[in-house]
Structure 1
């Protein structure tokens, strides 16, 4: 759901409980008399590469803004999934999106995610999260057909503000952050934003200790009337002790076999991510009918890991878990450019909104890995004894690195026309062409052992219609496409390659509404996605030089329904609600084989039913607000076919204004339920959800 809105009404009474740096609240104290209208909603989105009313987009769109981050105490991307129908956790930053696993993220419309590998995007520098559901090939090029997530950065602003936050909570959580925005010169030609974030905690799993540091800065220059150039730089340092964190073993019914605190990692194991992202963005209007923007983004990230990986029970034991030790360094850097232009033209009595753009991305990913498989001490499941020995580290250091060098290049351009036949009927049609060039080289001890590369091109299309039978209601239908290049490692000629990309096509219909003067927004969508050309071994063909023959003979069909509601029950009481139903099944395969992430005809971590809600009541005379929320996921399966049991959890918070300060107390997993957030493998078990946690934030805003 896209939370589109009419302007919020406000009166000068008490301060807004939960106001953030991005609220635009100045010196006057206000109470917003339409929480959904103001606090959690936006009336434009850039998920289509240009600023657009979500009511005019013929696909399901949902936008989560910084106000909701603040009210829910969200720190990273996993904290907001419950607000988005059709999305649930898979592992680390990976999600299940309309039934399909998806790991791809965009920043300000561009590729270049600095949270590589096994780290989760942080929200401190993000003003809103835009979600375009279904295939997004027209605007974003190769990707999963489930949809895309676009993180929109906080930027400099002329309205000066300073915000500071101090945090304390369960598991030794302590942190502090500060943000400042404002003018550099008197006329506001130059504006700035500076931010810093620090937080440390010892999560509930044995041996873990997380420390996160973020530094962010930007400067904007008003280059001309309606034109602005913004340059930003962000650095991240995330040190996770007792990581890379896997799951806890479960039985086939999904019951944890030991305490959810269990961890296969020793106290000296760690994951350390150090990354930087730099970007420049220019946007301007050209007359009244044309807008133009261009951007460049570069990121560089290094993720270093030394950790013990569980490998299942020792033969003959139901307590001792075998382990191996892994020493890995993952270095990734990427550079992207993009440009977009939009022009409104009146032709034959109809308004055409032409949109054109192009983008280019080049990424290099180098993984150095060495694994010690023999002689690693197993760990008891029920009575683990941890040590601080460097024995495994020293033995692994004597092994040669296996180096995997992966190069990825994407070049694409698109053209779309949205035609307003009348004020009540809009037609949309677009086409995109992409070139891609992928290559993988593997070396062991400096000697090349394998190499493959593949390049090709692909057209994708999008068409849709929007009918507005009355003000505030949009009925839409659309057809859209996506594609994903096959893994370069699978393009080996000996295996039958090269192969055409995996393709995805979706048919979707729905309704978006803004009713009762903006007090009720209800969006619903039904969809059907078919994903084809998934590679599998063809058993009818003999191996060639010992290489099994692959063929694009897999097909998966996803069907679903989504409902999103935001409503002001009273001027001080807002309710957000979302529900998603999804049924994803294999509709074409080879007997005896399973498509990746599927078990039988079901997909791992794909719930049939998902439900989330958040409600907040503002007690204006007391300058306070009470929040309550929850989420439910139905049963799922892991990649090993083990059950992942359904769960329902609840959260509650209270926010109180204290002069220039504001205090929030929040309790997550209110009833301390033990549950699996997602399943993984039989060897690694399922990822346990957090037990009951308490968070306190003291916020000061000037």
Structure 2
């Protein structure tokens, strides 16, 4: 930890030095009023559209991710949600889990994995519209180098190929800027939280045709859980070069280094009550999770003429994850009094190496009433895993008391054996075409189709007999329309499909030797975007129905088939409003109902249904005091009752609902901004999600207090 603090101190000293150098001053921005033009339906007159504070602070008006074109969000016939930089900063969001409350249709599952519209969402994660997620199963995406978070709800196969049915998340990374921007931040908090960062971005030459970005972030923190400490180091570099009037090349490199612990939950009873204090942890003091990743990305944008342009990207990542931790295995009642008093444990030593490369290129043709996109992409991902474990007291792993844990295990004495040594390699090639047709002045139609070929090799280094390969071909479509009923009401509807290939290892379970078909999903969605009360209230409401078939399931005799069906339907509403000129609010509500048919009553169905609350509410509201350049904000989150992801044939356990509150205060003094955030204001004990009876419920953060000072120079 001392080395980490030294690094932060060096950053602060560097800031003081740089602030006296010849950097240009950042141009102040006034985000209170946005201006735009629109064509009157009766006359060709330009009018001024004045947006309230809520729309200018917390709403993004366009999402290239949804269509690969600079489409106004009102022209996208599918629910798109944009988390802006302002909201990220207001909520002091350091990692993606801090923002789940502001993302309708999203519920927490495990670490950085979420449920979207009822479906587990893991592989459908993008950076600047490209696959290649460096954060894996047990790490949480960090937000230091992120400018926006965008979600596209429902299957997105026609645009981005194979992926989950619930939707996709896209992280828009920070790029070199045309104006000089320099910021240094220092943050302090309870539980030993201490971080520092410095960011500098701007032109290299006089005409700004070459630009740079440098960002460094470092943090350390403890936890209310036993034996938990986390350190983060992020280095983010970028360089953009307009080497002609029509071409821009952007090169980026990011390094992540995270040292922490892989945390499981706290055991619970069938009603979701914790069986011990939530500070309890099955980990020993020396347990750790070491995550390191290097990401390189190169993007070339080129304009051939005034109607044809191209966009090409190469992204490569190399990630290593080393996990050494103690996992709870079974609850024990030593004195037979009906009360569990300790658990058995398993020690796991895992090394995972992930590598991936993505190449994507597409053309955009603006043909008047038609905007056509055509492109192709290639995705390669490999996972090399070696997994040793020592299970129970017979292999030297002591039991752990639930009420008086003694952390004194001698790991060197464990009898660990090899459990897995395997390599998985996935190749995916896709081609697609899309047309946005302005059919009338009010009606916009979107149609797209995509063909995907995917191939996966599974190599078991323990038993070559288990080696297998799998390949298949699939297609996805999207058809939708938006309609400007008037300036206030803009309905939309869409039908979209997607597919998820079965893994090569799953194909080994096929008893008849026939390959399982990919999972196939289709969504019907109807929604409306509205701008009411003279644009004081912006409301997006959507109703959806998703069917996913070909889920692998085993019958009572152990025969495996891909016949399972999952149905998810629900309602989402996102509201931005200006309650007064100084008081803004962002509110979302989600109703989700998931059912699984033709799936055996085992871990498969429980995992599908687990951690899907029927009701969720997220609130963030901010009031400004212009006379003193300050603001105060208040947040609330409600998540309804859920079930855990049990691994037994018994009925799943209940995960209790919770409501937590946050508070934020900001003030600006010349080039300084001071900010105080209190998360979980009333220090509530609650469960974010459930795993199973033994590993228990994943515990939500207790009260965390952060004080931040940032300086623009």
Q: TM-score, normalised by structure 2?
A: 0.90
Identify the residue that residue 611 of structure 1 maps to in structure 2: 617
**Aligned residue for 1:21?**
none
Q: Which runs of 5+ in 2 are unaligned?
A: 1-23, 34-51, 647-651
SS in structure 1 of the partner of residue 453 of structure 2: strand
Q: Kindly tell me the number of residue pairs found equivalent between the two proteins.
A: 657
Instruction: Report what 2:299 is aligned to.
Output: 281
* Alpha-carbon distance in 2 for matches of 1:567, 1:617: 12
Q: Does 1:338 align with 2:346?
A: no
Shift of 1:286: 3.0
Aligned to 2:346: 324
- Which of 568, 592, 596 is the aligned partner of 1:558? 568
The alpha carbon displacement at 1:261 in A equals 0.7
State the match for 1:580 in structure 2. 590
User: Offset of 1:31 from its aligned partner?
Assistant: 6.9
Q: Which of 365, 375, 381 is equivalent to 2:402?
A: 381
Unaligned runs of 5+ in 1: 1-23, 543-547
Task: Identify the range of structure 1 (43-52 vs 134-143) with the bigger mean alpha-carbon deviation.
Answer: 43-52
Match of 1:57 among 71, 76, 83: 76
Residue matched to 2:502: 486
- Is the Cα–Cα contact under 8 Å of residues 460 and 482 in structure 1 kept in the other structure? yes
1:509 to 518, 526, 536: 526
Alignment pair present for 1:177 and 2:193? no
- Which SS does the other structure have where 2:574 is aligned? strand
**Aligned residue for 2:436?**
418
Are residue 304 (structure 1) and residue 322 (structure 2) matched?
A: yes
Give the 3-state SS of the residue equivalent to 2:64 in structure 1: coil
Correspondence list, 1:650-665, <5 A: 650-665=661-676
Show CA shifts across 1:8-58 (max 9, x none). xxxxxxxxxxxxxxxx99444747253223222222112222322111111
Matched with 1:637 is 643
Distance 1:344 1:595, change over 3 A: farther
Partner of 1:210: 230
Q: Give yes or no for contact 2:256–2:293 (8 Å, CA) kept in 1.
A: yes
Range with greater deviation from structure 2 (492-501 or 160-169): 492-501
Is the Cα contact below 8 Å between 1:589 and 1:595 reproduced in 2? no
Structure 2 Cα separation of the partners of residues 470 and 286 of structure 1: 36
State the shift of 1:516 in Å: 4.8
Q: How does 1:389-428 map to 2 (within 5 A)?
A: 389=409, 391-396=410-415, 399-400=417-418, 402-428=420-446
What is the match of residue 660 of structure 2? 649
1:668 counterpart residue number: 679
- Within 2, Cα distance between the matches of 1:572 and 1:588? 53
Give 1:588 shift. Answer: 3.2
Cα distance per residue 1:121-179 (max 9 Å; x no partner) = 00000010110000010111111110000111000011001011100001010010011
Matched-pair contact (CA < 8 Å) for 1:190–1:221: yes
Contact map agreement 2:519 2:550 (CA 8 A) in 1: yes
Q: Deviations over 1:208-233 (max 9, x none)?
A: 01000000000000122243110000
Q: Distance in 1 between matches of 2:447 and 2:484?
A: 18
CA distance in 1, matches of 2:510, 2:553: 14
CA distance in 1, matches of 2:102, 2:476: 30
> What's 2:4 paired with?
none
CA distance in 2: counterparts of 1:307 and 1:393, whole angstroms: 13
What's the counterpart of residue 596 of structure 1?
604
Out of 625, 629, 641, the position equivalent to 1:623 is 629
Is residue 2:268 matched to residue 1:258?
A: no
Aligned match for 2:154, one of 125, 128, 134: 134
Counterpart Cα distance in 2 of 1:371 and 1:29: 55
Q: Distance in 1 between matches of 2:572 and 2:312?
A: 34
Residue in 1 that maps onto 2:543: 526
For 1:109, the equivalent position in structure 2 comes to: 129
Structure 1 pair 666–313 and aligned structure 2 pair: CA distance change class (3 A): same
Q: Is the 8 A contact 1:443 1:449 kept in 2?
A: no
User: Which secondary structure does the structure 2 equivalent of 1:67 belong to?
Assistant: helix
Instruction: Find the aligned partners of 2:30 and 2:130 in 1 and give their Cα distance.
Output: 36
Q: Is the CA contact (8 Å cut-off) linking 2:349 and 2:389 kept in structure 1?
A: yes
- What do residues 331-387 of structure 1 show as CA deviations (whole Å, max 9, x unaligned)? 0000000012111224xxxx1111111110111100100111133101000111112
Q: Which residue does the alignment assign to 1:13?
A: none
Q: For 1:558-582, what per-residue CA distance to the aligned partner results, in whole angstroms no more than 9, with x for missing partners?
A: 1100000011222222100000001
- Between 1:35-44 and 1:361-370, the stretch displaced more is 35-44
The answer on whether the counterparts of 1:31 and 1:620 sit within 8 Å (CA) in structure 2 is no
Once the two structures are overlaid, the 10-residue window that deviates more, 82-91 or 25-34, is: 25-34
State whether structure 2 residue 94 is matched by structure 1 residue 75: yes
Where does residue 451 of structure 1 map in the other structure?
Answer: 467
Give the distance between the partners of 1:168 and 1:28, measured in 2 at CA: 26
| Equivalent-residue separation in structure 2 for 1:648 and 1:588 (angstroms) | 35
- CA deviations on 1:45-85 (whole Å, 9 max, x unpaired) are 12222322111111000000111111000000100010011
- Which stretch shows the higher mean deviation, 691-700 or 33-42? 33-42
User: 1:595, 1:676 → 2: CA distance?
Assistant: 21
8 Å Cα contact 2:26/2:712 also seen in 1: no
With over 3 angstroms needed to count, the CA separation of the structure-2 counterparts of 1:47 and 1:597, relative to structure 1, is farther
After TM superposition, give the deviation of residue 517 of structure 1 in Å. Answer: 5.2
Q: Residues of 2 paired with 1:654 and 1:531: CA distance?
A: 44
Deviation at 1:550, TM superposition (A): 1.5
CA distance 1:597–1:668, shift in 2 (3 Å): farther
Contact 2:112 2:139 in 1 (8 A): yes
Aligned residue number for residue 9 of structure 1: none
Deviation at 1:117, TM superposition (A): 2.5
Scaled by the length of structure 1, the TM-score of the pair is 0.91
Matched, 1:229 2:249: yes
Query: Contact 2:510–2:560 (CA<8 Å) still a contact in 1?
Result: no
Of 671, 689, 694 in structure 1, the residue corresponding to residue 700 of structure 2 is 689
CA distance in 2, matches of 1:698, 1:91: 31
2:501 is aligned with 1:463: no
Residue 551 of structure 1 deviates from its aligned partner by 1.1
SS of the residue 1:132 aligns to: strand
CA distance in 1, matches of 2:554, 2:419: 30
Would you say the 8 A contact 1:617–1:625 is kept in 2? yes
Q: CA deviation at 1:683?
A: 1.6
Check whether the contact 1:536–1:595 (CA below 8 A) recurs between aligned residues. no
Q: CA deviation at 1:691?
A: 1.0
CA distance in 1, matches of 2:446, 2:286: 56
